[in-house]
Amino acid sequence: MQSIVIATTKSWNIENFHLLKNKYEKEYMFHIITSSDVLTFEYLHTLKPKYIFFPHWSWIIPESIYSNFTCIVFHMTDVPFGRGGSPLQNLLIRGIYKTKISALSAQKELDSGDVYLKEDLGLSSGSAKEIYKKASDIIFHKMIPKILITSPVKQPQSGEVTLFKRRTPNESSLHTLGNPTLQNIYDFIRMLDAPGYPKAFLKIDSFKIEFFNADFNEDKISGTFEVKRDN
């Protein structure tokens, strides 16, 4: 029985891992890795996986691993457009509401690998967490099964390369928007609304106001805010 490894840390991916495992447990032996400390050549060598999938993995994959195993990462842009960090945030800050999830071979240069397949992903509504969960459903219930069943031949990326920079916590300030519209503000709040991301905020004197749970209805944005001292 062939071994399949999933490396991820997000709770929604872990939930989908168990659903995938239950569905295909007669065909494959599934393993999950949730810590970079466990992702070692020695451990993977004992498993001898056919594929190692990396949905929403936050660490650099060592060369000893991607050069010895078939490692597939998932990136939320239509590569080569949008290689690099914070893809969802960089798309929404540009007003881009349709993208692709690209399944790529892991390489030293970030998001530069050959493409196994791509699937559509809409970004027009929902918080970052909701979009990540939607992407997870597509990856685990559509893309990974398709790769397992069809063994697609990877193809080199083609087109002009556009690089995204990973966003910093200070860039979560609503003041960075300049002269925004209501749509811009709504997108800004929701694109940062996920566990582990610095929420959209404003500073007033010694206080910091964080915004989340945004909802946009025609001429107004409603949602939740928290006020705390800015230490």
Query: Residue 218: pLDDT band by 50, 70, 90 thresholds?
Result: confident
Per residue in 97-122, pLDDT tens? 999 999 999 999 999 999 999 999 99
Mean per-residue pLDDT, 79-104: 97
* Residues spanned by the domain of 213: 169-229
Domain identity same for 141 and 73: yes
- Rounded to an integer, what distance in angstroms lies between the CA atom of residue 135 and that of residue 131? 6
Domain identity same for 158 and 177: no
At which residue do the structure tokens 């966003």 appear? 167
CATH number at residue 208: 3.10.25.20
Per residue in 20-70, pLDDT tens? 999 999 999 999 999 999 999 999 999 999 999 999 898 999 999 999 999
CB environment 50-59: b (16+ within 10 A), e (fewer): bbbbbbbbee
Domain identity same for 146 and 97: yes
Domain identity same for 147 and 37: yes
Domain identity same for 137 and 211: no
Domain identity same for 132 and 54: yes
Question: How many Cβ atoms are within 10 Å of 177's Cβ, its own excluded?
Answer: 14
Domain identity same for 151 and 175: no
pTM of the model: 0.94
* Phi, psi dihedral angles at 205 (to 5 degrees): 55, -120
Picking from 108, 141, 164, the residue at the C-terminal end of a domain is: 164
Helices 11-24 and 128-138 cross at an angle (nearest 10°) of: 20
